[in-house]
């Protein structure tokens, strides 16, 4: 059995991760940790867990004493909050899967510019694997530190990767219009995400400044073999969970819509969690699952291609992908513990 520890187990992503790992046949969770709810049962924080997860959350300051009890440490904390703990865990041979943004960007200067925090473990960036399994499986399997991708980047990169890899679009023309449910903002009290502030309304935010922009650009640049700069605009929509990313690019060559579908199906034919769909994706059709739905449309009038993807931001965009990465790290079946059927109700 793999012994796991979870830090940040009472946030939305941490909660989802706690549920998935508690039901994983190859995992035993040695401890759950929470800053705001230390010494409380998980079931007292989330009433739906009564009778299922009655574990008491330990304080984050007590985690160091328990590191030798685990094989893998999951971090579901805000960026910049766990540098010292990561350093300690790596020093005693523990594998780490970090759901924050601390190890996604290879250049610490980019991290400090976009996140406004000094990177205290810049030396680890070269060894961190970007945890998008469909594109980086081999690197993940050989790493001790996995940077779980952001939710917007997961949806956007998977939607655009086949076009970039096959030199189908002009890389200077990429525009991403993405929309997220309110859970993407986390569980902390925040006026813009209060019910009365976001219900019955849709709003753009972080225009030309969202922190996921350099993450998307970095990964697409790797695929293209050249530096890519793109426009990314996220929107908040009044649903609890889900991301829909609509990605645009100008075609460099003549290609039919059928050929585009053949291209995508060829790229993802062996990927269990990617569905190439003829109908346009909807967030409700991936809700509660680790699946990414992708559809493609060619606009003959403007000579553009539009790729649309949908994911559950808390699962494929966070906790489910973290479990997928753990399965790869430990040589398990990649789908173990995360083969949930989407729940549309």
Give catalytic residue positions: 151
The gap from C-alpha 131 to its chain's centroid, in whole angstroms, comes to 8
Cα distance between residue 220 and residue 156, in whole Å: 10
Cα distance between residue 337 and residue 315, in whole Å: 12
Supply 30's token pair: 């040695």
Cα distance between residue 307 and residue 313, in whole Å: 18
Cα distance between residue 200 and residue 206, in whole Å: 20
Helix axes 12-22, 319-329, angle to 10 degrees: 50
Closest CA relative to residue 102, chosen from 192, 215, 8, 221: 215
Classify residue 210 as left (phi > 0), alpha (psi -120 to 50) or beta. beta
Cα distance between residue 105 and residue 111, in whole Å: 6
Q: What is the dihedral of CA 125, 126, 128, 129, to 10 degrees?
A: 130
Length of the chain (residues): 345
């Amino acid at each position: 059995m793999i012994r796991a520890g979870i830090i940040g187990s009472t946030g939305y992503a941490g909660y989802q991760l706690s549920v998935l790992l508690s039901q994983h046949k190859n995992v035993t969770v040695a401890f759950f940790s929470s800053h705001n709810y230390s010494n409380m049962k998980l079931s007292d924080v989330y009433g739906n867990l009564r009778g299922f997860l009655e574990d008491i959350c330990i304080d984050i300051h007590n985690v160091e004493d328990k590191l030798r009890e685990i094989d893998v440490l999951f971090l579901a904390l805000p960026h910049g909050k766990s540098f010292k703990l990561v350093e300690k865990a790596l020093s005693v041979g523990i594998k780490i899967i970090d759901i924050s943004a601390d190890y996604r960007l290879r250049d610490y200067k980019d991290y400090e510019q976009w996140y406004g925090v000094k990177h205290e473990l810049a030396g680890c960036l070269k060894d961190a694997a970007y945890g998008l399994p469909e594109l980086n499986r081999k690197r993940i399997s050989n790493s001790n530190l996995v940077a779980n991708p952001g939710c917007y980047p997961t949806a956007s990169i998977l939607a655009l990767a086949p076009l970039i890899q096959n030199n189908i679009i002009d890389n200077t023309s990429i525009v991403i219009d993405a929309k997220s449910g309110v859970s993407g903002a986390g569980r902390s009290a925040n006026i813009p995400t209060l019910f009365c502030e976001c219900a019955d309304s849709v709003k753009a935010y972080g225009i030309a400044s969202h922190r996921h922009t350099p993450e998307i650009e970095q990964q697409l640049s790797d695929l293209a073999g050249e530096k890519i700069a793109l426009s990314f605009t996220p929107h908040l929509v009044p649903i609890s969970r889900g991301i829909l990313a609509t990605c645009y690019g100008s075609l460099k060559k003549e290609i039919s819509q059928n050929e585009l579908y053949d291209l995508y199906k060829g790229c993802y034919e062996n990927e269990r969690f990617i569905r190439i769909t003829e109908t346009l994706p909807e967030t409700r059709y991936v809700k509660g699952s680790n699946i990414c739905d992708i559809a493609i449309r060619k606009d003959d009038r403007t000579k553009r291609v539009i790729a649309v993807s949908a994911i559950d931001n808390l699962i494929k965009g966070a906790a489910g992908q973290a479990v997928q990465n753990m399965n790869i790290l430990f040589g398990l079946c990649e789908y173990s513990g995360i083969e949930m059927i989407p729940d549309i109700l």
